[in-house]
Every structure is written in C-alpha cells, then in structure tokens.
Structure 1
Amino acid sequence: MTSEPARPTRMRYVLFDVDGTLIDALSNQRRVWGTWAERYGLDADEVYRVALRTRPMETFAQVAADRDPRECLAALHELEDEDVRSGVYAAFEGASELLYGLPPGSWALVTSNYEHRVRGRFLRTGLPMPDVIVDAAAVEEGKPSPVPYMRAAARLGAAPEDCLVVEDAPSGVQSGLRAGMTVWGVNAAVAAEGVHRHFATLREAAPHILAFTSGSQGDAAA
C-alpha cells in the first residue's frame, strides 16, 4: 500500500513599500522637499504636507501651479539624486535579517520612488535586492491605485490572495487593499485604516512576515 503524495505548499509572497517601511528616509524626504520649496519661495511645511499624500506632479499642481512642472520635477530629481549620494539614512532595525531570511523569488519592492535611487540606498545600507521592483516609472497610476501592487504580483506570478503587503503609509495601505491583498502596517504609532494587522515597528512584524511566507501562520489577517 502506497501513501498519497503530499500536496505542494502554495507559495506566498511579500510586497514591500520602501521609504518608511524598510528604509528610514523620513528626514531625508522632508529635507529634500524643504530645499525644493525654498528654491521656489514656498512654505516648506505646506509643501511637505501635500507631498506626503500625492505624487510629485500632483504636488506641483497644488503648490506651484504657476511653475513649469517639468522644471519642478527636474529640480526635485536633482535634489533626490544628491541625497542618495550624500544623505545620511539607515535601514530600519530588523530589515536586513528579514529580507535575507525570505525565500528567493518570494518578495518584491513596490515604491513611489525610482529604481536607481532604491538600488543606491540598498547598496549603502547593505540590504539585498529582489528580482522584482515596481517603481514610479513602471506604472502610470501610483498609490493609492491598486496598479503598483497588482503589477508586482503579476511579475512574480502570484495571485493577489497569496500576497502580503507591508506598508507604513495610508496611501500604500489603500493600494494593497484595493489590489485584494492582505495588508499589514508597520512603523506607525496608529494603525492605518483598513490594515489587517498593525505593528509598531518592522522588527516586531518580521517573525510574522517570515511565518506568512512559510505558511505556518494560520490566519494572516488575525
């Protein structure tokens, strides 16, 4: 009598936001936008408040409608690229161990930034790079649209129900939820609306994320 072959375990995937989730870049973002605002004689705090919830071209339309948006974007890119080269920032505690602990091919980055900057920051902080990165240039619709996370899942060959999104910002949370994925929030004092689970830090979330990919966590949304 032969026993039935074991059913293969269904692979699970993790889709990470970058800035604020894996990389501590909040002060860098504020400084870059502050310098940009000074160039145009704008209130730095107001500009940053708008920039936190919109893509750059939408920010320009709100805070500098009388300026050439292409010129605004070129100035912002110049400042951001310089920050990658000389800015001081670090990976969040636990990020390196978490990413190195994930199975190859099981995770991706979904960022509103650009891939060359992500690679520069990861290189400087010692974080590994995945095979799949969906950046601002890869999609026409940014977060909170579901498109960025859906694009990452498609490139991984993953079904939305098998994906865990790890985010720190409300717009990213909404992007993951609209894509039909499980969404966990990290690195925020208060849980964003709609998250299935909330962790105060990435380090606190790390063992649960690893358990999700291994399938040992019975209820990912618990």
Structure 2
Amino acid sequence: MISEPARTRRARHVLFDVDGTLIDAVDNQRRVWATWAQRYGLDADEVYQVALRTRPTETFAQVAPDHDPDACLAALHELEDDDVRRGVYAAFDGASELLGGLPPGSWALVTSNYEHRVRGRFRRTGLPVPELIVDAAAVEEGKPSPLPYLRAAARLGAEPEDCLVVEDAPSGVRAGLRAGMTVWGVNSAVAVEGVHRHFASLREAVPHILAFASHR
C-alpha cells in the first residue's frame, strides 16, 4: 500500500517588539521624558511613570492638559530623534544570534515607535534589519489593539495561529493575545499576565524561539 504524502507544515513566523525586547532603551526613554518634562516645568519622575502606562497623547492629556498636544508631541519627537543620533544603545544579550538565526522573511518588527528611529537604533547596535517593520504610522490603532500584529501577519502572508509574538510589556502582550497568536514574555523577573511562556531574559529564550520557527 502506498502511504499518503506527509502534510506540508505551514511556515511559522516570529513577531518582535523592539524597545525592552530586543534593544535596551529604558535609560534613553527616561532621559527623553525627563528633558521633555523639564521643558514644561513638570516633575520628571511623575511624567515618566504615566508615560510607562500610556501612549504619548494620553500622557500629555494627564500631565499637561493645558498645553497643545500637537506641540507636546512635536517636542517629544524632536527629543527622540536627537536621542537616536546621539544616545548610547545596547542590544540585549542573544539578540544578534537570534535574529541572525531566523530565515529571511520569517520575522518582523512590530513597534509603537517609528520606523526611521528603529532603523537608526538597529544601525547603532549592529542588529540585522528585517524586510518588514510595522510601526506607529502603519496602523490606525496601536497596542494593546491587535491590529499591529494582525497587520504584520497579513503582510508576511501568515495565519495568526502560526505566529509567535515576543514581548516585554503588558500592552504588547494583550495585543498579541487579542490577535490570536502565541505570546512569550521576556526580560522581566515576573511573567506578564497572559503569556504562554515566560523567560527572565532574551538570552534564555533564544533556543526556544529558534526551535519554534523551525518546528522543532
């Protein structure tokens, strides 16, 4: 009897958040927000704590409700662009090995930042840049909406159930879960609520992510 041919396995894809997941930008973000707060005569620590939980426009509404939000955003963008040019960035341990070990076209970046800044940071750290970056300008709704991750999957030609999301932040984790994807958390001592697997560091997750991508 001739056996049936084995069913072709669908390709798997990996979708990465950037800041806090692949690149350590905490100090940079804190400095940018501190400088922004100083311009508006606000307490830097209080502003940063709000910024950690909300998107910029929501942050402005809470900490500087009497100021023009467009002007607030323009000032923040100016500071962020300057930081990309002058700031010191470091990739998390294992990031270069991980991205270099994934097949081209099998992974993408999904970020609440903007593509030109991401590319600048990747150049500074020497990380390989993927073909696809879904940034804040590419979607109408940011994380925790599932739209950024669904957009990335669609552009890769992947089904959500074949995608692994690698995140460090609660809003990103919720976005990946709402998109119907597998979500792993990295770079935190305590697991973010909802993740399917948790790794204290990106380095610890590297072999498991590569295994996922290759169906091992």
TM-score above 0.5: yes
Aligned length: 216
Do structure 1's residue 57 and structure 2's residue 68 form an aligned pair?
no
Q: Offset at 1:58?
A: 1.2
Q: Equivalent residue of 1:143, what SS?
A: coil
Q: Is the 8 A contact 2:22 2:92 kept in 1?
A: yes
In the alignment, what sits opposite 2:44? 44
Code of the aligned partner of 2:138: A
In the alignment, what sits opposite 1:186? 186
Deviation beyond 4 Å, 4+ runs, structure 1: 1-4
CA distance in 1, matches of 2:146, 2:105: 21
In the alignment, what sits opposite 1:8? 8
In the alignment, what sits opposite 1:71? 71
Flag structure 1 segments of 5+ consecutive residues without an equivalent.
217-222
In the alignment, what sits opposite 2:152? 152
CA distance in 2, matches of 1:54, 1:132: 25
CA distance in 1, matches of 2:67, 2:180: 38
Q: Offset at 1:132?
A: 1.1
Q: Offset at 1:155?
A: 0.7
In the alignment, what sits opposite 2:28? 28
In the alignment, what sits opposite 1:219? none
Q: Is the 8 A contact 2:84 2:117 kept in 1?
A: yes
The CA RMSD measured in Å over matched residues stands at 1.1
Do structure 1's residue 104 and structure 2's residue 100 form an aligned pair?
no
Q: Offset at 1:88?
A: 0.8
CA distance in 2, matches of 1:116, 1:2: 55
CA distance in 2, matches of 1:148, 1:58: 19
Give the TM-score, by structure 1 length.
0.95
Give the TM-score, by structure 2 length.
0.97
CA distance in 2, matches of 1:65, 1:177: 32
Flag structure 2 segments of 5+ consecutive residues without an equivalent.
none
Identity %: 84
The superposition leaves residues 96-132 of structure 1 with CA deviations (integer Å, 9 ceiling, x where unpaired) of 0100100111101000100000000101111111111
